[in-house]
């Protein structure tokens, strides 16, 4: 089983990040599932039946992306980890970082429109999308609302569709079933487009969204979904239980839990 959505932080920073972001996530998550360090996250995934996991690193400032990518490249040396880098998408220093990530064997980058304060269809960011297309780098986006930034929505479904339509050859993954808590809009604008959705951060606490997500699966196809938990912010078991609540065949579950991610990451 592959978890496509996890976070690890350097040991010196992990406790501070957990404290800062954990308060915002308390509405859904009572306690983080790990301390967000490498050692504890490895233990946790092994205990919960995860064979490999994607670590999504995020550069929240332009001057930060070199250090973030140093960390990403180091994590990627672990055979159980597929580590994504990051760049600051509206800055001017992303090109050498993307080249460095590609040379190091990194498979993709993570962009977070809320944390990085940009609209997903901001034309300045198109330069990054173009270069990722040419380098065959996957782009994983935070999509929909973020509990720490509920006052703004920088990756709505209609803007995400604009990006997908402008870059039909890119490999895009929109997190949280295409857009956290905007599932009707995902069904209207983004489902059925040439992109993937990961399943992270939605759990049995949000059963009211099941009809919209079942509709999404029928429209988008099970082949377009990647299992993710958003560890440490959601427990793997809760994420699995939510998938089991959906209207899926056993074969479709196999694709979501493992097959789709292997086809995207290791083909």
Q: What is the pLDDT of residue 247?
A: 97
As a dihedral over the C-alpha atoms of residue 106, residue 54, residue 181, residue 214, rounded to 10 degrees, the angle is 110
256-266 pLDDT, tens digit per residue, is 999 999 999 99
Q: What is the pLDDT of residue 148?
A: 77
Mapped onto helix, strand or coil, the DSSP state of residue 237 is helix
Q: Measured between alpha carbons, how far is 267 from 5 in angstroms, rounded to an integer?
A: 19
Please give the residue range of the domain that contains residue 38. 2-266
Q: What is the pLDDT of residue 158?
A: 98
Q: Measured between alpha carbons, how far is 52 from 264 in angstroms, rounded to an integer?
A: 14
**In the structure encoding, which two tokens stand for residue 24, read together?**
């915002």
188-233 pLDDT, tens digit per residue, is 999 999 999 999 999 877 889 999 999 999 999 999 999 999 999 9
CA angle 246, 159, 242 (to 5 degrees): 15
| 183: Cβ contacts below 8 Å, ≥ 6 apart | 177, 209, 212, 213, 216
148-162 pLDDT, tens digit per residue, is 777 889 999 999 999
Distances (CA, A) of 64 to 85, 96, 102: 12, 14, 18
Q: Measured between alpha carbons, how far is 210 from 229 in angstroms, rounded to an integer?
A: 17
Phi, psi of 92 (to 5 degrees): -120, 10
Concatenated DSSP letters of 202-223: --GGGGGGHHHHHHHHHHH-GG
Q: What is the pLDDT of residue 104?
A: 98
What total number of domains does the chain contain?
A: 1
CB atoms within 10 A of CB 27: 10
Low-confidence residues in the chain, pLDDT < 70:
22-30
CATH code, domain with 105: 3.20.20.140
Confidence (pTM): 0.95
Q: What is the pLDDT of residue 150?
A: 78
Contact between 185 and 158 under an 8 Å Cβ cutoff? The reply is: yes
Q: For 108, which DSSP code?
A: E
Rounded (10°) angle between helices 126-135 and 94-103 = 20
């Amino acid at each position: 089983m592959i978890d496509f959505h996890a976070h690890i932080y350097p040991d010196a920073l992990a406790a501070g990040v957990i404290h800062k972001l954990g308060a915002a996530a308390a509405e859904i998550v009572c306690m983080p599932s790990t301390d967000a360090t490498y050692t504890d996250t490895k233990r946790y995934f092994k205990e919960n039946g995860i064979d490999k996991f994607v670590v999504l690193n995020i550069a929240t400032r332009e001057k930060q992306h070199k250090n973030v990518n140093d960390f990403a490249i180091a994590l990627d040396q672990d055979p159980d980890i597929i580590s994504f880098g990051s760049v600051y998408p509206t800055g001017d220093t992303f090109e050498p970082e993307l080249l460095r990530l590609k040379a190091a064997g990194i498979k993709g980058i993570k962009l977070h429109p809320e944390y990085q304060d940009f609209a997903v269809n901001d034309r300045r960011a198109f330069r990054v999308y173009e270069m990722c297309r040419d380098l065959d780098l996957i782009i994983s986006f935070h999509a929909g609302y973020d509990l720490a930034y509920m006052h703004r929505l920088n990756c709505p479904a209609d803007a995400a569709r604009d990006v997908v339509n402008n870059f039909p050859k890119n490999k895009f993954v929109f997190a949280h079933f295409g857009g956290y808590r905007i599932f009707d809009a995902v069904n209207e604008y983004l489902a059925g487009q040439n992109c993937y959705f990961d399943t992270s951060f939605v759990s049995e606490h949000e059963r009211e969204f099941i009809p919209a997500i079942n509709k999404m699966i029928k429209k988008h196809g099970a082949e377009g979904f990647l299992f993710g938990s958003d560890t440490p912010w959601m427990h793997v078991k809760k994420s699995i239980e939510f998938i089991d609540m959906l209207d899926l065949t056993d074969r479709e579950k196999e694709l979501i839990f493992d097959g789709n991610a292997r086809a995207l990451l290791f083909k």
